[in-house]
Chains A and B, each alone.
Chain A
Amino acid sequence: MADKKGRYPTEPLKCWDMAKKIREDYYRDYAAAHEKGGLRWAGGAWTFDAIPAGLGDDVFPITSEPYGASCAYDKQFSLRCLEAAEKAGYARDLCAYMRNYWGSILLNQYAFGGPFPKPDFLWQDHICCSHAKWYQVVSELEHGVPHFSIDVSVGPESEINDNKLEYVVGQMHDGIEFLEKTTGRKYDDKLLIRAVKNTCRSTSTWARVCELNKTVPAPLDEKSMYSLYVLGTLQKSSQAVADFYEELLKEVQDRVKRGIAATPNERCRVMSDTQPPWGFLSVFRYLERFGTVSIGSLYTFGLIGAWEVDGNGEWVHRKTPMETGRSINDRDKALRVLAEWELHKPEWQHFYSPHLKSEMMIRIARQWKLDGVMLHYNRGCEGLSLGIAENRLALLKAGFPVMVFEGNMGDEREFDMTRTMARIDAFMETLGMKREFQ
């Protein structure tokens, strides 16, 4: 309940430190993997990370998008990375994560200290034009590191059929052969099955956390959510991440029960879209001056979260195969479950049509009780900016005021802080929100 001044109680998240530790361990484990005879692999945040898990518990990944974002967060380092990629001939309008990542390899500097740890193999998926090509170039830059990518561009969830599923699952089987051949290790299906279950658990639980943000006042704001969802982008198949999300869920449930708000002066609820300009997260803090909270986005909900529409048309977390009683007891079943599960990923749907994305966004806008939407026209990511102008038209048609701002998630040279703030001022004015403090 709000007090007389209309302020809700607030408090920091208790599991914050745990999230931080998982992230630190992750980057350190990757770098140190060879010390104990383990393996390192690199791939995207959307890759089927559960599959290499079958090579053993001493196999550590690094995912490229969160790594690129980590680079972007350090503006000085990022600029050096971007310039190194440009010097090597890569165009400035390419994916900004990719350029940061390549730059880091070219400079041979790991964002977390020391030289860039070379991966033993590359394991990627492909739906955006840059996905597999990203690692094609990494393989070239790293003098021929073996590379395997899985094409998942088989169409939206409503059109999945046996032919499409077979194509993806078939590539997964080929991928396991590639892993065995490349590493010389024997593949362990039990580890795969555990990792698939963890993947479903992580992503379903994260969706449950996001669901709780339907509450007014919102228990989480988007800026905090960035630090939480990122764990799923690092390694959604790991036991630590799946367990963490369950802990987080308990804490957020408790916040809802006690009426704890992320933004004490919440009066206005918006969502954003696509990755934020990572070097300028203060944009979200700026909203608080107007009593406005960003409760998340299709991006924060749907990149890692697994969702489905229930009988009442509500968007709710997807039930895991364990909950629905589906057996996962051999390799083929595990791969099939994993493929099906991921092909329903919300952030993969709009690759086929922006109108599918508009539907999901309008659903969020309604069910999370929003007053407006802020779309980041993100020059750094053509995959997520795909069709964004159509999303704008659809949201307006559905009655939601929309503000757009141009920027770049990972190339600060393309973001104009002052003008963006000016734009927010005007947007807040149109929503009738007054600035409460400077």
Chain B
Amino acid sequence: MKEIDVFRQWNRKRHEYATAWQKRTGGKVMGYFCTYVPEEILHAAGVLPVRVLGSHEPQNVTEPHIFAMFCPFCRDCLAQGLKGRYKYLDGLMIAQSCLHIRQAYTSWIKHVPVGFSYYLCMPHKVQSRRAYPYLRGELEAFRKAVEGWTGKQISDKALREAIAVYNENRRLMRELYDTRKQAEPPVSGEEVMEISLAQQMVDKREHNEALRKLLAALPRRKRDRPAGTRLMIIGSEDDDIDFLHMVESLNKEQYPATFVVDEHCTGSRYFWNDVPEDKDALMALSRRYIERPPCPTKDWEERKRIPHIMKLARDFGAQGAIVMQQKFCDPHELDTVAIRKELEKQGIKTLFLEFDVTVPIGQFRIRVEAFLETLKQEDLF
């Protein structure tokens, strides 16, 4: 469908998009590593934030820089930098989250220098009341640094406009997700992944426009296969379109299945909550990033991810959950046991998979088919 193809094109031609944007607007492009980066400040400064993702190709350039015990995603990301695929970046930044991805950032700025780099000390204890004024202070420092870099003041007005654009984007995405609550969702999980990945790479105004068109067209859309088993996918960074494609194109008589919701930082965690109303724009941002669905690195002492996941499962009618993570991802490994336990307790069966740079489609297909079979048997008895 052409309203979805536009997202797919953005995603597939991410570098072409960014260089064309740069040329067209004369603005700067900032590569970023973690979705805790307060993009609104960049947007307000006329900067395009672009999330750095891997390319899913085997590579041999990161071994001198990152010890192999760290996740394949951080190595794949660094490889993109070392291979010069992001040469057009004017700046590169990270918001503090896991140790793995941090290495992609620190090695990149050392060996592939960029004009501006920034490490934002995003707090980990988001459950502490002390995190609010602290993050506000860090955001203020960041705003000043961006002003110094671009040579332009970021006015409160610009910040509020950026917040409005971003909140609009979040609202439209939630609206898209709402359509997946239908008995026969008009979009597949694979398609939604294309849309949410594009969301992290393109100008939000353009993304909003495309989303509006898509949402207008969706009521007339009917997919050519039954929704079948309603699946949820939960876990770490995941841009493995091939995997979702495989699951959603299994034999439709025998194993029909559709992903109806996700809990990924490349998906719903990224946009789920809005920036709240607050006279102080920076405090509003601070509240938004502190209160968003947390990355496991920040989900302590209480586990707040779990009630959020359970609510998603209920709201979207998930019948089974695929719990995935990047291989060697310690933060997710520290959540997985508790998450699976709670899901199973609520009658939602889970399948656990570890993702690497390339997905062993054959091995995973066998496991997913077996999983779907067990879910069907549940229905029978």
Contacts and interface: CB of A to CB of B under 8 A. Distances in A.
A356 to B, nearest CB: 9
Contact of B123 (A135, A148, A167, A382): A167
A93 B106 contact: no
A136 B334 contact: yes
A363 to B, nearest CB: 18
Interface in B300-340: 300-301, 303, 328, 330-331, 333-338, 340
Given A128-B99, A136-B303, A167-B131, A153 B64 contact: no
B96 interface: yes
Contacts of B70: 382
Nearest to A134: B334
A393 interface: yes
A170 B331 contact: no
B124 interface: yes
Interface of B: 63-67, 69-70, 96, 98-100, 102-103, 106-107, 110, 119, 121, 123-125, 128-131, 133-134, 137-138, 141, 296-297, 300-301, 303, 328, 330-331, 333-338, 340
B65 A390 contact: yes
A201 interface: no
A352 B103 contact: no
Nearest to B129: A174
Contacts, number: 135
B99 A132 contact: no
A78 B282 CA distance: 49
Given A89-B337, A128-B99, A352-B119, A382 B330 contact: yes
Nearest to A93: B328
27 contacts: A91-B330, A126-B125, A129-B330, A129-B331, A130-B330, A132-B300, A133-B296, A136-B303, A136-B334, A137-B337, A151-B128, A153-B96, A154-B121, A155-B121, A163-B141, A171-B130, A351-B102, A352-B119, A353-B106, A354-B103, A377-B67, A379-B69, A383-B99, A385-B67, A386-B103, A390-B106, A393-B64
A164 B141 CA distance: 12
A151 B334 contact: no
Given A94-B334, A355-B106, 15 more contacts: A89-B340, A128-B99, A132-B301, A134-B334, A153-B124, A163-B133, A166-B134, A167-B131, A170-B130, A171-B128, A174-B128, A383-B99, A386-B102, A388-B67, A392-B64
Contacts of A353: 106, 119
A355 B110 contact: yes
A174 B130 contact: yes
B103 A387 contact: yes
A317 B277 CA distance: 49
Contacts of A393: 64-65
